[in-house]
Every structure is written in C-alpha cells, then in structure tokens.
Amino acid sequence: MADEASSTHSGVQSTPFVRRIPCKRCLNHYAQYPTKNEEANGAQLVACCEDSSASDECTRCKHGNKPCEKIDKAFIAVAKKLHEHAQAGYTDKFKKYQLAGRKALFKMQNRSRARNRRTKKDKIAIKEHAREARALTDLKIRLDMANSLSVIANAASILAYNKWHTVATYDREVADNYQGVLDDEADEIEYAESDSDEETEEQA
C-alpha cells in the first residue's frame, strides 16, 4: 500500500500531504473554524490531506470513519481559496473567505436535498411503473387463462357434439336393424295370415 502511494506521489513517503482540492468535510472545518470545541481545545486548522495509504479518503474522513465527499464543481474555486489560506493559519485573509465557504456549503446542502427529493420521486415513479407492469402481466395471464378455458370449453362441446353424433348414428343403425326385424315379423304375420286366408278359402 505504502509503495503504491509513494510511486504515485514520488517524494512523499508515509507523510501526509495537502490535497489540491479539499473535500466537503474539510471545507466545513475551514468554514466553521473555530467551533466552540476547537476554541476550548485550542485546536489548530488542519488542511485536507491525502493519507499515506492508497485510500481515496482524506486523513480527516479516514480518522473519523466518515465518507469523503467531493465538492460540487460550482464551489471548487471558493473551497480552494479557503484551503490555500488555511495552510498559512487562521489569518485575516482566511477569515475573509470563511463566509463564502459557509454559503457554498449551504448551497451544496440545498442542492443535495433537491437531488434526494428527485431521487425519491423517481423511485416512487419506478415503483408505480413496476406495479402497472405487474397488473398488466396479471391481466395477460388472466386473459390467457380465459382463452384457454374457452378453447377447452369449445373442444368439450365439439367432443360432446361428436359423441352425440356417433351415438345418433349408432342409434339409427340399431333403429334401422330393429325396423328390419319388425318388417320381417310383419311379413311373416302377413304371410301367415294369407296362408290362413288361403286355408279358409280352401275350406270354403
């Protein structure tokens, strides 16, 4: 890790060095300095420094275990001024830029709040869209099911019709056969009757 840092920044080995642009937390430190605590402790201004590890965080954020955030482009110039003067200490020139630094921080906070609001709105819109998509899928499934059911019902009615048709044909055959039997019987009866007629005729 140390090797990597020293190779990237030759001449700086295991020694913290001042960043070109301070981070948001360090800008806040510059703008608010000295806070009541810092005044009570007699704490000095501390510049935003790269730490000796390959970490992207500055020493302040790393030690505080807090995210090291970049400054919005629009406020880099103000931040750099404070940063430069901070390295000379709590001077009048430094004090002159503190108000601008506080204003920059205030504006950045408002911007990030607006961004969060937009993100929230987007998230709601995405959720709404997902819900609509789910409802549509649900509807499609129901329609598919309804279609399938109607196909099945149709098939069932065709099957029933065919069955009836088959049964009807079968019945007709039976009926025809039965009619044939009846006809034969009728013929036989007629024949017998005619026989008896003949007999009576003969007898007469």
Based on CB atoms, which residue is closest to Zn ion, 70 or 117? Answer: 70
Based on CB atoms, which residue is closest to Zn ion, 112 or 147? Answer: 112
Q: In whole angstroms, what is the distance from residue 89 CA to residue 204 CA?
A: 162
58 binds Zn ion (CB under 5 A): yes
47 binds Zn ion (CB under 5 A): no
48 binds Zn ion (CB under 5 A): yes
List, in order, residues 6 or more apart from 164 with CB less than 8 Å away.
none
Q: In whole angstroms, what is the distance from residue 59 CA to residue 25 CA?
A: 11
Q: In whole angstroms, what is the distance from residue 86 CA to residue 95 CA?
A: 9
Cis peptide before 67 (omega within 30 of 0): no
25 binds Zn ion (CB under 5 A): yes
Based on CB atoms, which residue is closest to Zn ion, 23 or 79? Answer: 23
Based on CB atoms, which residue is closest to Zn ion, 60 or 85? Answer: 60
Identity (one letter) of the amino acid at 159? L
Element at 50 (helix H, strand E): strand 49-50
The count of residues in the chain is 204
83 binds Zn ion (CB under 5 A): no
56: three-class secondary structure by DSSP: coil
Q: Which stretch binds Zn ion (CB under 5 A): 5-13, 55-63, 121-129, 144-152?
A: 55-63
Q: Which stretch binds Zn ion (CB under 5 A): 10-18, 22-30, 39-47, 172-180?
A: 22-30
60 binds Zn ion (CB under 5 A): yes
- CB 26 within 8 Å of CB 105: no
86 binds Zn ion (CB under 5 A): no
Q: Which stretch binds Zn ion (CB under 5 A): 8-16, 51-59, 123-131, 141-149?
A: 51-59
Residues near Zn ion (CB under 5 A):
23, 25-26, 48, 58, 60-61, 68
